[in-house]
A and B are shown apart, each in its own frame.
Chain A
Amino acid sequence: MPLLRWETNVDPFASFQWLRREFDRAFDPLRLFGDARRIGGGVFPNINIYNGNSDIVVLAEVPGVRQEDMDVSITGDTLTIKGRKTSGIDNEEKIRFERRERGSGEFTRVVILPDRVAGNNMSAKLKDGILTVTLPKSEAAKPKQITVQS
């Protein structure tokens, strides 16, 4: 089951991009053979998903993205993180870059959550370029203890 996907109505080749990215990530030569790992790149944010007993925590790396440029929404069990990363550089088109590794532009990352979530008490925090989204699970998705009787 793919946990992550692009918005397929935007790009018909979205799932191929997803596949390519996951392969790149798995076989990143820097990661396999090097001593330092390159993180990020482009505007597409890296995410971590943690599944807890009562809630799901999603972390996303969004350095340089301002709070007002971010849009986090949830539909059913699909979390959408949208945002715009600005380079913060004036007269960008006139500059001859010596080195350009960061990206800028709009991004959308869609996450299929591992469980159903309740619609209330969700929170999203942005600190030092890390977005933390906390989503409480719906009652039906929470584990329940069944007492074994003898």
Chain B
Amino acid sequence: MVKKENEKNIEVQARRERPQPAETLLPLVDVWQDESEVTHLVAEMPGVANEDVRVEVDKGVLTISGKASWQEPPPEKYSPTYLGFTNGEFYRAFALSDEIDRDKIAANMCCGVLKLMLPKAEAAKTRRIEITAE
């Protein structure tokens, strides 16, 4: 497990092994931690229907994936004039810190954006130690 000294709960892992679909798209993400030490991960997966998103945790690796399901107009009737994006499968894997409580991960998908909330386990939270004067 990779863990940096500045307490990063999620570390992006590039080029992991994965199944080979026709076109793999990398979802763009925002990652941050809030005051209550919950790590938030927001990923853009345009065209992926809510029921097609998969979020998996396996051996400390968090995987988000999903197939974009928008339909291209039939090629026999339409010719592409300009193509800026393609249909494909989104895939991205992250190394997950041991501090994150696996059972409390919450996911929410709306209008092509996946939101994950990854709370820390109670035992891993920062605790303030009171200093008592003698």
- Interface residues of chain A, those whose CB is within 8 Å of chain B, are 3-4, 25, 30, 35-41, 46-53, 56-57, 59, 61-66, 87-89, 95-102, 114, 126-130, 132
Contact of A53 (CB < 8 Å), options: B47, B50, B77: B77
Shortest C-beta distance, B5 to chain A (Å), equals 14
Bound Cα distance from A145 to B29, whole angstroms: 50
Closest to A56 in B: B81
- B44 interface residue per 8 A CB criterion: yes
B85 near A63 with CB under 8 A, answer no
**Interfacial chain B residues near A101, Cβ < 8 Å:** 28-30
Tell me which of A4, A38, A96, A126 contacts B82 (CB under 8 A).
A4
Chain B: interface residue count, which band? 35 or more
Q: Once bound together, how far apart are the Cα atoms of A85 and B79, in whole Å?
A: 30
Q: What 0/1 readout, one digit per residue, does chain B (97-115) give for beta carbons within 8 Å of chain A?
A: 0000000000000011101
Q: How far is the CA of A39 from the CA of B29 in the complex (A)?
A: 11
Can you list 16 pairs linking A and B with CB atoms under 8 Å apart? A37-B26, A39-B28, A40-B85, A49-B80, A50-B79, A51-B78, A51-B81, A59-B70, A61-B85, A66-B111, A89-B42, A101-B29, A102-B29, A129-B46, A129-B111, A132-B70
A65 to B110, CA, bound (A): 10
Which 8 residue pairs of A and B lie closest in terms of their CB atoms, listed nearest first?
A129-B112, A63-B112, A129-B46, A46-B84, A101-B28, A46-B85, A50-B78, A63-B46
Q: Tell me the bound Cα distance from A63 to B109 in angstroms.
A: 11
What is the CB-to-nearest-CB distance from B10 to chain A, in angstroms, rounded to a whole number? 7
